[in-house]
Chains A and B, each alone.
Chain A
């Protein structure tokens, strides 16, 4: 029996999902016989961890603060072992631009993009280069905030006229945004799960299939009933294997640990293109990682125990 702090909620825009993930993890931990201290993350986090005398932290936070290395750094200082990726991997993954650079440098496929910051726009007049940027990438473009998150702030630009408003929207979420070439294809989510001893494994692939007619309607992806999920995705074995191999390579090159989810587009030419890595993907009942684990015969409680165990293993190795 271990005394586990479940960190959830917080101030991120993904607070709602995080509360759901956290509640589910707490239930699982209790069933597994652990002592659970539920913590809605706020300014009093330190006190709560100390007063709770927690031996280990299960991080069920999504979005900035929880998923970008901030909380991980704090836990390192407190010498409290925690689940999932370390500070560096979280920082790399949570900034889509950094992650894409790492992927491209490693020779892994990710759609072409251009990033710039609000300050560059103001101080260097980067806006003047916008014309050249959009010409290089070609329309349609996807405009998104660099910080990792849900679909919030992601806009589709069909023409030059759409770009300024899309940028204003994306800058609502982050000081850095990217314009990414839009790749048409099938949306795949590949969850990776570490093994206490040995190499991490890629779980069965989940495909998100939009129900609506308008392919470009991003909002529809997040509307209830607008998307169905298929697991395992109907893919030729060789294609699935290649996508999984690329996902594992991305997980490794970004230095992820414990678990993560790789989102990619399988382009019509058959080439997978990595969009982003989520170091702490949703753990709600029907989030994609638990679905994939289920398809691999790993029940939720076992999934939670495995994630917890990998955190223990890491802390033992470190000492």
Chain B
């Protein structure tokens, strides 16, 4: 760092050029960018979310697990273990496919969820996100089709886009992806001589919708993949965070029954330590048919040679130290309380025009508002009240989702969740009342949307009471 002429930088970071930049700034380097970067878009929404960095903002926008629940003393003692027993190896490169001890932990985790797997059928990745990226890298040519749920994981959309895939999103209902629609879409594509390279799904506690795919639909999806010889990428970060109901078999376990010694043919499975241990350690994994896995391995070599040895040694020490279920039970209880607090707050503070999902697990609730409310604009308004969420458009690549939003309940206290939802609800109520007064003014040409008793244009919409309306869109099986 050069001498700053004695300048006192009030900020901690010296070189404070933010990673985010304006469209205009990027334009300057336009001629140098690869073609595919044209599909990596910035958006007004992302610019808005810059403000959520500020501490006074109640952010229901992130997807963060609550790492304050992890005992700092345990972290210290585990790292001391690593330092005293494997310092040199932990500081060294490791195998591309991951440390054997970590693979053993993963085999144990998957077995606990009814998925027999051999250590050489999986590769340790740098978070589940890298697994998605590597699958794209391995399978996608520009113009290839990926089918996903609509809405889908907002972090997967840029991955598909950066490999210039065409994303087709299949609408969901309370039982997850509508397989009828999927089949019709596949038929329509086939009639055109096209087929998707893979189908991306989060069957359990989907991000962002919060719903789970029903067992019959899981079976049909696995059958469909087999019949049509299509790959399915099953992303399963949340299944251990179940707050109610009974476990559902993963697609992988439906394809490879218990006791089977065969690997799967069409399901690629990805898991992660992020939600059950820590996202900061960036440890995930991918299980795939052997030929696919071999290509993924090559892709990973060029991406990062290997995932962090240090954090893999930490994972191994953690699993050796005690029962990994204890921490999951702890966070699960806490998240369940927070989910309940959010569901209560939604029922109390949102108007009758809103609907939302009832997640049996995971981290998110998906709220849908009347179509005349654009949630990106709503976010701008919400930020004035110091509260944030993810606008629904982030979960689509086709312009849908404008009236929906994703709310996260794992990373805020119950008190802040209630306060945040109260603020959001207040704004929505204002906007609903405003819209009603405007459409009552005689310029609206869709009269069916104007309530008969709206002439009074009541300035305040009465707040509905909890449990007054049966409008939960979703339930577990």
- Enumerate chain A interface residues (CB-CB to B < 8 A): 1, 11, 13-17, 19-20, 23, 26, 30, 33-40, 42, 48, 52, 118, 121-122, 125, 127-131, 134, 150-153, 159-161, 163-165, 167-173, 219, 222-225, 227-229, 282, 284-288
Contacts and interface: CB of A to CB of B under 8 A. Distances in A.
Determine the main DSSP class of B at the interface with A: loop
A83 B331 CA distance: 52
B384 to A, nearest CB: 9
B51 A172 contact: no
Contacts of B443: 130-131, 134, 160, 163-164
B381 A173 contact: yes
Interface string B368-393: 00011110011011010000000000
Nearest to B403: A165
Nearest to A8: B16
Classify chain B's interface size: 35 or more
Interface of B: 4-11, 16-18, 20-28, 30, 38, 41-44, 47-48, 50-51, 54, 371-374, 377-378, 380-381, 383, 431, 434-435, 437-446, 457, 459
Given A38-B9, A52-B8, A128-B442, A20 B25 contact: yes
Given A130-B443, A229-B24, A284-B22, A171 B434 contact: yes
Given A150-B44, A173-B380, A284-B25, A38 B10 contact: yes
Given A130-B441, A168-B438, A225-B38, A13 B381 contact: no
A220 B40 CA distance: 14
A224 B42 contact: yes
A152 B47 CA distance: 10
Nearest to A132: B443
Contact of B18 (A19, A128, A130, A150): A19
13 contacts: A11-B54, A16-B20, A20-B21, A127-B457, A130-B443, A164-B435, A164-B443, A168-B438, A173-B380, A224-B38, A282-B22, A287-B22, A288-B24
B6 A35 contact: yes
Which among A131, A171, A173 has the highest number of chain B CB atoms within 10 Å? A171
B274 to A, nearest CB: 27
Contacts of B437: 121-122, 127
Which among A42, A130, A282 has the highest number of chain B CB atoms within 10 Å? A130
Contacts of B4: 30, 36
B23 A152 contact: no
A117 B330 CA distance: 50
Nearest to B6: A35
A318 B411 CA distance: 52
